[in-house]
C-alpha cells in the first residue's frame, strides 16, 4: 500500500496512460509498459511528483529525460513484438531502456556520460531488469559486437545518419533518429529493405545533440 514516505504513484501512472491513449497511442504493449514502469525512480530526488506529468525534466550532466509521450510515440513506431534485439543510443535516465526491456527480447544501451550510465544501471537493477547490457562510450559508432539489431533508437539529435548505425541494422529493421539542426530536428525513421533503405519523416522534435565521431563534434 502507498504511504506518504514512499508513494508508488499508481494512480498518476494510470492517468498518464489515459492521456497517452487520448493523444493517439494505441499500442497496448507500449501502454502496459508505461503503466508498469516507475518513472519517478528515473527523475532527480525531489521532483518525483512531476514524473507523471507529460513533460521533459532535467536529469543532470546537462541532459534531459524526454517527455513520456515522446517515448511512447517512438516505441509505437517500432511495432516491437517481444522477440527483437534493440540498440539504444543515449541511455540518459534509463527510463526508455526500462520500457525497451519490457517490449523487446534484449536491449543494448550506450551512453557517453558516465554518471548517467551508472545511475541508469542502478535503477534498472533495482527494477529487476536482466535483459539489458550497457556500454559507456560513443554510440555514433554503434555497438558492432551484438549487431545486427531489429531496431535502433537514437535519443539525441544528429546532423546526419551515422553510417555505422545503418550498417548494424538488420534487414527489416527500423532506425529512429532525430535529424537536423542543433535546435530543431525531424524525427526520421529508416527501414532497411533487402536492397535499399527507406526513409520517412515523422514529426518535428527537439533533442539534445548527439556528440561523437559521427555526430556533432562540440557540445
Which residues are near ligand SAH by CB under 6 A?
A: 63-66, 89-90, 92-93, 95-96, 110-113, 116, 138-140, 155-156, 208, 210-212, 215
Residue 11 CB, nearest approach to ligand SAH (Å):
23
Closer to ligand SAH at the Cβ: 12 or 156?
156
Contacts for 166-173: CB closer than 8 Å, 24+ residues apart: 166/190, 166/192, 166/197, 167/142, 168/87, 168/142, 168/143, 168/144, 173/148, 173/149
Closer to ligand SAH at the Cβ: 145 or 195?
145
Tell me phi and psi for residue 38, to 5 degrees.
-75, 80
Closer to ligand SAH at the Cβ: 162 or 173?
162
DSSP assignments along 121-174, one per residue: HHHHHHTT--SEEEEES-GGG--GGG--EEEEEE-SBBSS--HHHHHTEEEEEE
Residue 1 CB, nearest approach to ligand SAH (Å):
29
Exposure of 30 in the CB half-sphere (CA atoms within 13 A): 22
Sign of CA dihedral 72, 138, 172, 170: negative
- Known catalytic residues are 66
Residue number with the smallest Cβ distance to ligand SAH: 92
Residue 197 CB, nearest approach to ligand SAH (Å):
21
Residue where the block lists cell 544528429: 158
Closer to ligand SAH at the Cβ: 193 or 213?
213
Residue 215 CB, nearest approach to ligand SAH (Å):
5
Amino acid at each position: 500500500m502507498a504511504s506518504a514516505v514512499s508513494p508508488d504513484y499508481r494512480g498518476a501512472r494510470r492517468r498518464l496512460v489515459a492521456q497517452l491513449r487520448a493523444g493517439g497511442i494505441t499500442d497496448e504493449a507500449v501502454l502496459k509498459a508505461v503503466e508498469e514502469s516507475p518513472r519517478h525512480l528515473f527523475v532527480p530526488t525531489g521532483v518525483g511528483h512531476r514524473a507523471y506529468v507529460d513533460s521533459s525534466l532535467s536529469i543532470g550532466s546537462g541532459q534531459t529525460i524526454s517527455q513520456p509521450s515522446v517515448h511512447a510515440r517512438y516505441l509505437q513506431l517500432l511495432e516491437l513484438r517481444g522477440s527483437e534485439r534493440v540498440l539504444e543510443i543515449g541511455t540518459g535516465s534509463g527510463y526508455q531502456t526500462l520500457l525497451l526491456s519490457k517490449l523487446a527480447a534484449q536491449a543494448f544501451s550506450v551512453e557517453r556520460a558516465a554518471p548517467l550510465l551508472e545511475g541508469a544501471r542502478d535503477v534498472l537493477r533495482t527494477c529487476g531488469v536482466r535483459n539489458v547490457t550497457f556500454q559507456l562510450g560513443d554510440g555514433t559508432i554503434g555497438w558492432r559486437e551484438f549487431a545486427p539489431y531489429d531496431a535502433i533508437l537514437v535519443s539525441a539529435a544528429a546532423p546526419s545518419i551515422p553510417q555505422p548505425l545503418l550498417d548494424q541494422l538488420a534487414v527489416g529493421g527500423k532506425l529512429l533518429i532525430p535529424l537536423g539542426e542543433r535546435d530543431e530536428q525531424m524525427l526520421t525513421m529508416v527501414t532497411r529493405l533487402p536492397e535499399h533503405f527507406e526513409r520517412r519523416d515523422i514529426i518535428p522534435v527537439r533533442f539534445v545533440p548527439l556528440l561523437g565521431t559521427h555526430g556533432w563534434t562540440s557540445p
